[in-house]
Structures are given as structure tokens and as C-alpha cells.
């Protein structure tokens, strides 16, 4: 017997301030799961119309599923956040696309009628769990030439992109990085982030403090300063700390519901999920992943790239976004692209980032009600990409 799939809408999304990973970072003395608890509680506070017992599942992502972000993270955080014991939860891992994968997994539950309300998101404490720490890479990856050995080091994959696209220079990457910092600073100054970011009291070596702004913000960044930075992944390379995202701690959470549940609970939908896609590419060129993923998601939706009015792309490396621009025929300075800056300015706490992209897109939809479609996309380690097409509920959704 066939069944009709239900529409899935995004209601709200928040994130912590993103802190520097390590002993000098905001969250060095804060547990990862407590960061996730903070954003879940903030979602409930912001949406008092939602009875906690109506939450049908909690789907949270982490890349390093160990220590204080181990266990079954969705259930762990649900209990710690005070949700009823009847609310289940689970964890997912698709590296940098963790939160986007949590979103599409939760959306699948809703579309199939298995759930009405799902909390999704991600957390990454890169200070407690450095990338690749405690990972035992199978030696056959290299010995049998399944992947190039550079695939395990993200900065080297970015240098590989520069090799594959020699027209994309270090100067191009630095210019994109400067623009990202400037846009992010403007978004903070204009109050955009006041809606998207929840402050959090944390204990530090100097006592208690409240996180206020992302720790990697550098509004004074300029081309002259970036040109002096070293290239740690290759002698005379092109990838630097200035045109890359910093190692970051942070957490995100979003509220997804069925259209019927939104009406019943008087929740205001901000976006409707239209289509999504994941794609694989050469692991050593993992930054190319968003190009085929974007093309697949657009094809599913019956849209062309010109139909999309806002793009939120992750920025692990400037060159990665530039290759997406090259592949999609979008100018690097297109005003539709990352209008509030990106990870080069705020940081990239791996599995948490996807919801940051979604929250910024939802804000962009509200600021530009004439825009109908938007896209969130990012690249993923070991050669993958993810993309979701969203429809503005103010304009046809």
C-alpha cells in the first residue's frame, strides 16, 4: 500500500558561540554534551508553544564519538536537557556533514509519518578530541592505493585543490578570506548573530565568564597581513591559517516539524525542505564534494542554480568554496553567497556546522522575503559532499 510523504519544515535553529579549540579556548573546561544541552534548552525556551513531550526524537551528530561526546549522543543530551524519558535519541557521524545528516535523518522520520517533531544538531569539542585522535586508519587505504595518503590531512587536500585548479591562486583565497571576515563582523555589529547565537556561562582558568563572540573573528584582517602567513601543509604552498577555518569547539540544534504539527502547535515554519543529496569524489580532493551534491539536489528539485537566491556554503578552506564557485558558475563575490560570512571567520566545529548554515539561511530568507529558494552545502572528509535545497515559507513554501 502506497503512502504520501509529508512535508518537513524548519522552525528554529541556534548555536553556541564558537570557541578556539585548546587550552586558551572558551570551552576548554566545558563538556561537549553540556554545550549541546545548552542549545537544546535554548530551543525549548524560544519555542514555549512546543510541549517537550511532543518531541519524538533527538538526532545529534559528532565526528569524534568518544569521551564527553560519546554514548548515544541524542539520548544522552535529551536526558541531560530535562526532556521526558519518553523522548528517544540517537547519534550520527558523517564528519563535517554531521548536522546536515542529522537533519535529513530526522526529516525522513517526519516525512514517513514516524515522527511529528524532531530536534537535530551537532556538537564538536575539537579541544578535547582533536581531528583524527584515537582513529586507527586501515593501512590498506594507502598500501592498496584505495586513497592517496594526503586524503587524511584536510589541509593537504586543500593544497591538492589548488593543484587541480591552478587558476585559483593564494591571492584569490586570501581575498575571499578577507571578505568572509568583513561580512561576519558586519553581521555581528548589525545584530544578526544576536538571534542565532546563544551565550553560555563557562568556567575558565580565570573564573566564570560568559561567551560573547566567536573567538576567531578577525575584522582587522587584510591582504597584506595574510600574505605574510606561512603555509604549513606544503613548502611555498597556498593554504594558510588566514584562508582556512580554525579548529573550533561549538554546538548547534534545530527544530524540524511536519507542516501539520506546525499548524497544530502554532509554530511558525521558516523553511521547507525541498530536496537533498550526498555525493562522493576522490578522497584527496574532498573539497569538490559539494559540486556534485549541489547538482543532484537541484536536479531533484527541478531547479537551476539561477533559481537559488541564497547560498550558505561552509568555508573550511577558501579554495574549497572557490572550487564550488567554479563548478557552479558562481562568482566568488556573488552577494547571494555567505552574506553573513562563514567558517573562515567563525570557525568550523565539524559535525555542528550544518545547523549554523541552516540558521543563517533562515535569517537570510526573512531579510529577503522575495527570495524563494536557498541552499546549504559543505564538503566532507574522505571525499564527499552534502547539499540541501530549502524553500522560503514567506515565498511559496
Q: Give the residue numbers annotated as catalytic, written as ranges.
A: 96, 348, 379
CB distance 296 to 44 below 8 Å: no
Which residues neighbour 193 within 8 Å (Cβ) at sequence distance 6 or greater? Answer: 187, 213, 340
CB atoms near residue 163 (< 10 Å): 13
Determine the distance from the C-alpha atom of residue 91 to the mean position of all C-alpha atoms in its chain, rounded to a whole number.
Answer: 16
User: Could you give the 3-state DSSP secondary structure of residue 156?
Assistant: helix
CB distance 308 to 375 below 8 Å: yes
Give CA–CA dist 143/149, Å, rounded.
9
Helix axis angle, 154-164 relative to 318-328, nearest 10°? 40
Give me the phi and psi of 77, to 5 degrees please.
Answer: -70, -35
Give CA–CA dist 181/184, Å, rounded.
5
Give CA–CA dist 286/278, Å, rounded.
13
Place of cell 562563514: 342
Please report the beta strands in the chain, taking only residues with DSSP state E, as ranges in sequence order.
8-16, 19-20, 57-61, 89-92, 117-125, 197-198, 201-204, 207-210, 248-258, 271-280, 308-313, 373-380, 384-392
Place of cell 543532484: 296
The string of DSSP letters for 42-80 reads: HHHHH-TTS-GGG--EEEEE-SS-SGGG-SSHHHHHHHH
Question: In this structure, is the dihedral angle defined by the CA atoms of residues 356, 358, 359 and 360, taken in order, positive or negative?
Answer: positive
CB distance 310 to 361 below 8 Å: yes
CB distance 93 to 242 below 8 Å: no
Give me the phi and psi of 343, to 5 degrees please.
Answer: -65, -25
Amino acid at each position: 500500500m502506497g503512502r504520501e510523504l509529508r512535508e518537513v519544515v524548519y522552525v528554529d535553529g541556534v548555536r553556541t558561540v564558537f570557541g578556539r579549540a585548546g587550552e586558551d579556548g572558551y570551552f576548554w573546561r566545558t563538556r561537549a554534551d553540556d554545550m549541546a544541552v545548552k542549545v537544546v534548552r535554548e530551543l525549548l525556551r524560544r519555542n514555549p508553544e512546543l510541549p517537550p513531550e511532543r518531541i519524538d526524537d533527538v538526532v545529534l551528530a559528532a565526528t569524534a564519538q568518544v569521551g564527553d561526546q560519546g554514548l548515544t549522543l541524542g539520548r544522552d543530551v535529551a536526558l541531560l536537557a530535562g526532556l521526558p524519558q519518553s523522548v528517544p535519541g540517537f547519534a550520527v557521524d558523517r564528519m563535517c556533514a554531521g548536522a546536515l545528516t542529522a537533519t535529513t535523518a530526522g526529516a525522513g522520520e517526519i516525512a514517513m509519518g514516524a515522527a511529528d517533531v524532531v530536534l537535530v544538531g551537532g556538537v564538536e569539542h575539537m579541544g578535547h578530541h582533536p581531528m583524527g585522535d584515537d582513529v586507527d586508519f586501515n593501512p590498506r587505504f594507502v598500501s592498496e592505493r584505495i586513497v592517496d595518503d594526503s586524503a587524511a590531512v584536510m589541509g593537504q587536500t586543500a593544497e591538492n585543490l589548488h593543484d587541480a585548479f591552478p587558476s585559483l591562486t593564494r591571492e584569490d583565497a586570501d581575498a575571499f578570506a578577507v571578505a568572509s571576515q568583513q561580512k561576519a563582523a558586519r553581521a555581528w555589529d548589525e545584530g544578526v548573530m544576536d538571534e542565532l547565537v546563544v551565550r553560555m556561562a563557562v568556567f575558565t582558568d580565570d573564573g566564570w565568564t560568559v561567551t560573547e563572540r566567536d573567538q576567531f573573528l578577525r575584522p582587522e584582517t587584510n591582504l597584506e597581513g595574510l600574505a605574510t602567513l606561512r603555509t604549513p601543509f606544503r613548502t611555498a604552498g597556498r593554504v594558510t591559517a588566514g584562508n582556512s577555518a580554525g579548529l573550533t569547539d561549538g554546538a548547534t540544534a534545530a527544530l524540524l516539524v511536519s507542516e501539520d504539527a506546525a499548524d497544530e502547535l502554532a509554530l511558525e515554519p521558516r523553511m521547507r525542505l525541498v530536496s537533498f543529496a550526498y555525493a562522493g569524489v576522490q578522497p584527496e580532493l574532498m573539497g569538490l564534494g559539494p559540486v556534485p551534491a549541489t547538482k543532484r539536489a537541484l536536479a531533484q528539485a527541478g531547479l537551476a542554480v539561477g533559481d537559488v537566491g541564497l547560498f550558505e556554503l561552509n568555508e573550511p578552506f577558501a579554495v574549497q568554496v572557490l572550487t564550488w564557485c567554479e563548478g557552479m558558475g558562481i562568482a566568488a563575490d556573488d552577494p547571494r553567497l555567505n552574506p553573513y560570512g562563514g567558517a573562515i571567520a567563525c570557525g568550523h566545529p565539524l559535525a555542528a556546522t550544518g545547523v549554523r548554515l541552516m540558521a543563517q539561511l533562515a535569517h537570510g530568507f526573512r531579510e529577503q522575503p522575495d527570495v524563494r529558494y536557498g541552499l546549504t552545502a559543505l564538503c566532507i572528509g574522505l571525499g564527499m559532499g552534502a547539499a540541501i535545497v530549502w524553500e522560503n515559507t514567506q515565498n511559496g513554501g
